[in-house]
Every structure is written in C-alpha cells, then in structure tokens.
Amino acid sequence: MSFKIFKELTKFRLSLTVLFSAITGYFLAIESVNYFNLLLLFFGGFFVTAGANSFNQIIEREYDSLMIRTNKRPIPAKKISLNNAILFSTIISILGFIMLNSISFKCFYLGLLSFLFYIYIYTPLKRKSSVAIFFGAIPGAMPCLLGWVAAVNDFSLASGVLFAVQFFWQFPHFIAISWIRDEEYKNAKFKMMPGKNKSNFAPSLSVIFTILMIITSIIPFFYKIMYFEISKYACLVIIFLGLFFLLKSLKFLNSQNDYSARKMLLFSYIYLPIVQVLYVVDKFLLQ
C-alpha cells in the first residue's frame, strides 16, 4: 500500500487533528511527562482513529462513489480492494487498542467506546436522521478525555469541561459542512441537514451551540476547577476568539448562504486548536 492510499483511507489529516486534542488533554493533566505513555497515546490514539476512519469508508463505499467530494477515495476508486482495506483497518485498530490498553484499561475503554460510537451509531445514523450530528459529536469530543485519562488514569470536572468545549464546537462546524454539501449529501442518501432542508433552523442551532461553546470555554476562569484554571489573559483571548466565532455564526444565520457557511467553517478549523494551545500555554507560561 502506498503512503498516498494510507493517507486517504485513514483520513490522515483528520486523524492528526483528533490526536492533537488528545495531546492537549494529556499536557493539561500532567505534572511531569511520562514519555513512554505519551508515545503510546500518540500512536495508539492515531491508529484507533485511523482505523475508525478506514472502517467508515468501508461501510460507506457505495455512497462515497455517488459524491464528487468522495468518489476518488481509495475503495470507490478501486485503488485498494475491499478485502485488503478490511484487513488493513482491522490490523491498525487492534494495534491501537493494544497500545491504549498498555497505558491503562480506562484508555482502552475510552478508545473502544469512541470507536464503536463512530462506526455503529454515527455512521449508519447519517442515512436516517440529522440527529447523527449529536451522536457523532460524542466520539468527536472523546480525544481530550482520552489524553487526560492517559495522564492521570482518572476522570475529573476539568476533563468534562474539555469534552464539553469540543462537543459544542462540533455543531457549528458540521452544520456548516452539511449546509455546503447539502445537495451532494442528499444525492448520496445522507440526511445530515438539521431541519431536513436549508432554513433558519440549522443556522440558529449554530448560534446556540457557539454561545454554549464560549460559555463553557471560560468556565475555568470563573469557577475554580482542580488542575484546570486559566489566567485573565487567556480568558480575554478566548472570549475574543469566541465572539469572533459568534459573529461568523450570526452572519450565517442572517445571510443563510454557502459563502457565510464556508467562512464559519474555515474559522472553526482555526478556533479549536488555538483555544487548546492557549490552555496549555497558559498552564505552563502565563500562570
């Protein structure tokens, strides 16, 4: 298998983005770095995520062939056989689970729960109801929990806040994608648009969840959480970024066109990693 096919089948950049959240959760929880566990988290988290993405393409191969955005993926484009794709996905998934279990059983459990949610709930639900966005946001927000547990082998309110920020962030993010790709999704029998058709409903949801995301992101400043506090400097920057995100959401609600949806989507890609980096930088440098 060529590296290009590997990247396409595993959604390489998406897998790395998900892994970034796990690493953020790890560094926010640790007092000293266990480099062996960090390596296990990095590769274990990547392989489990990559395996889930690969199985997603295996399950949706017939639907992917119907969309311009996805018909060049390895399986519909016949770059790899179905059997080889299944074998590859199984091997990297098992390898990932072994690595996570080497950190702790809780890490294995979180990885498995996220994997099963993505493959057996979110993936088939996409063809039945836009509620899939809600269920997809759960495994999508798991990585920060995984990183935290990899560091301290326990859950906490702090890890719950990290989970909530990423959970709420996914709604405007995926609603923008659903809006832009609405016609393609419908042609491929995916029901991803909240409210079924383009209307006030989906942009209104974007605004609501953006507000929830902003409120959640600054909880560590106003409410003292063990192991997770942010300085006034970080809080001000996060508020500024959140208000800018909210402005994009309100413009989307007002105009309800692909251009404003794309603007909101592009900023969503910037917002989350910046906020996560701010949390870490604030912990080690600003406090």
Does one domain contain both 208 and 98?
A: no
Instruction: Give the H or E element holding residue 207.
Output: helix 201-217
CA–centroid distance for 41 within its chain:
16
Does one domain contain both 232 and 269?
A: yes
First to last CA, the chain: 47
Does one domain contain both 234 and 118?
A: no
- What is the secondary structure of 150-193 as a DSSP string? HHHSS--HHHHHHHHHHHHHHHHHHHHHHHHTHHHHHHTT---S
- At residue 103, φ and ψ (nearest 5 deg) are -80, -55
Please tell me the predicted confidence (pLDDT) of residue 164: 96
CA angle 214, 29, 278 (to 5 degrees): 40
Of 88, 119, 153, the one marking the end of a domain is 153
Task: Please give the Cα distance from 237 to 75 (Å, whole number).
Answer: 43
Range of the domain at 213: 156-287
The total domain count for the chain is 2
Please tell me the predicted confidence (pLDDT) of residue 286: 62
Q: In angstroms, what CA-CA distances link 111 with 17, 18, 49, 107, 261?
A: 16, 12, 8, 6, 32
Task: Please give the Cα distance from 102 to 71 (Å, whole number).
Answer: 37
Q: What is the CATH number of the domain that holds 139?
A: 1.10.357.140
Does one domain contain both 264 and 182?
A: yes
- At residue 167, φ and ψ (nearest 5 deg) are -65, -50
- At residue 66, φ and ψ (nearest 5 deg) are -95, -10
Other Cβ atoms closer than 10 A to 71: 13
Nearest CA-CA partner of 204 in 160, 143, 246 = 246
Nearest CA-CA partner of 23 in 156, 148, 140 = 148
Walking along the chain (287 residues) 10 residues at a time, the average pLDDT comes out as: 82 87 93 92 95 94 84 89 94 97 96 95 92 94 94 90 96 96 89 90 97 96 86 95 97 96 96 95 79
Q: Give the pair of three-digit tokens for residue 234.
A: 């970080």
Does one domain contain both 148 and 160?
A: no
Q: Give the pair of three-digit tokens for residue 112.
A: 């498995």
Task: Please give the Cα distance from 54 to 6 (Å, whole number).
Answer: 9
Of 153, 182, 202, the one marking the end of a domain is 153
